[in-house]
């Protein structure tokens, strides 16, 4: 297949990739100087199914709060606005992005990989003393969102790319760069930036396959890269890869690993993964 250089702006002009309504509404409300928790709770409570999902996750072992969180007001108090809105975004995207041809992607397997990357990223961030480890839930859940955009907007090209990855045992990122001149990582970062997410989110997503290119958030990017590779190695879901992505040698050196930590983390990560799976799905 000849190279097809894509223009991200044109590709996403009329895309399905629009920010979930509740997330956007909360973000707009937070920009008002006089907003209150009551205003935010009213927005969230307008979607009862979202409230059920949020309370289920907040009360799960993933967060480990000592007291049961009974309602949205309580969740806002114990989690904070920003963290709760990130959780809303992650769960809403998982709910909204679901109808894709099985010839392209098994969505259950796609989200299993995303969840695996999320729990692995949080675990690694805690272990290495990285600030705000909870943010890796959102990073993990959304790091491959660009693939969903490509599957939606360029289904035939995506099919050819995936077939080559499967037959030749090549990594998705490398084949995308060769044939599109762009990767799912950059497409995903573009979407998240357009949604108004901070650079601390979209930069790690942009460079999770090229961790040395990250500038302001190199630590977060390195952790996301490591989590993605470990999730691949452990075979926890699949977002389009047929061979595990290798961990960059400089990332190994940065975190003082002589070999991939996947084997040593397997038991703990699998326990956290299956707990998260029961909560998110």
Strand spans (E) along the chain? none
Residue 148 CA to residue 104 CA, distance in Å, equals 10
Fold of 98-281: Hypothetical protein af1432 (1.10.3210)
pLDDT of residue 280: 75
pLDDT of residue 1: 53
The residue written with tokens 């098994």 in the block is 106
10-residue stretch averages of pLDDT, the chain, 281 residues long = 63 64 87 88 89 87 83 89 86 76 82 94 94 90 92 88 92 92 92 89 96 95 98 92 93 96 93 85 67
For 192, the 3-state DSSP assignment is helix
CATH 1.10.3210.10 maps onto the chain at 98-281
What string of DSSP letters covers 67-115?
A: S---SHHHHHHHH-HHHHHHHHHHHHHHHHS----TTT--HHHHHHHHH
Counting every residue written for the chain, the total comes to 281
pLDDT of residue 147: 92
Task: Report whether 211 contacts 223 (CB < 8 A).
Answer: no
pLDDT of residue 262: 94
pLDDT of residue 14: 57
Residue 229 CA to residue 234 CA, distance in Å, equals 9
**pTM of this prediction exceeds 0.85:** yes
* Sign of the torsion angle spanned by Cα atoms 215, 153, 96, 148: negative
């Amino acid at each position: 297949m000849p190279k097809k250089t894509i223009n991200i702006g044109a590709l996403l002009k009329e895309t399905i990739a629009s920010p979930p309504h509740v997330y956007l509404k909360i973000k707009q409300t937070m920009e008002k100087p006089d907003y209150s928790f009551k205003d935010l709770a009213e927005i969230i409570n307008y979607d009862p199914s979202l409230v059920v999902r949020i309370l289920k996750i907040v009360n799960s072992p993933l967060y480990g709060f000592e007291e049961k969180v009974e309602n949205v007001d309580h969740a806002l108090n114990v989690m904070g606005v920003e963290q709760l809105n990130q959780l809303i975004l992650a769960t809403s995207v998982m709910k909204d992005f679901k109808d894709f041809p099985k010839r392209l992607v098994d969505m259950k397997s796609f989200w299993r990989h995303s969840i695996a990357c999320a729990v692995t990223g949080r675990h690694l961030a805690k272990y290495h003393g990285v600030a705000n480890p909870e943010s890796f839930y959102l990073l993990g859940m959304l790091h491959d969102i660009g693939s969903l955009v490509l599957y939606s907007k360029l289904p035939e090209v995506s099919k050819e790319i995936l077939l080559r990855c499967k037959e030749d045992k090549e990594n998705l990122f490398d084949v995308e760069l060769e044939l599109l001149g762009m990767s799912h990582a950059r497409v995903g970062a573009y979407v998240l930036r357009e949604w108004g997410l901070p650079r601390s989110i979209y930069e790690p997503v942009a460079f999770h396959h090229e961790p040395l290119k990250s500038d302001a958030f190199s630590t977060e990017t390195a952790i996301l890269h490591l989590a993605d590779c470990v999730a691949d190695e452990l075979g926890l879901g699949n977002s389009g890869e047929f061979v595990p992505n290798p961990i960059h040698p400089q990332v190994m050196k940065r975190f003082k690993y002589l070999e991939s930590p996947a084997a040593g983390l397997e038991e703990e990560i699998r326990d956290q993964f299956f707990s998260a799976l029961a909560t998110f799905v």
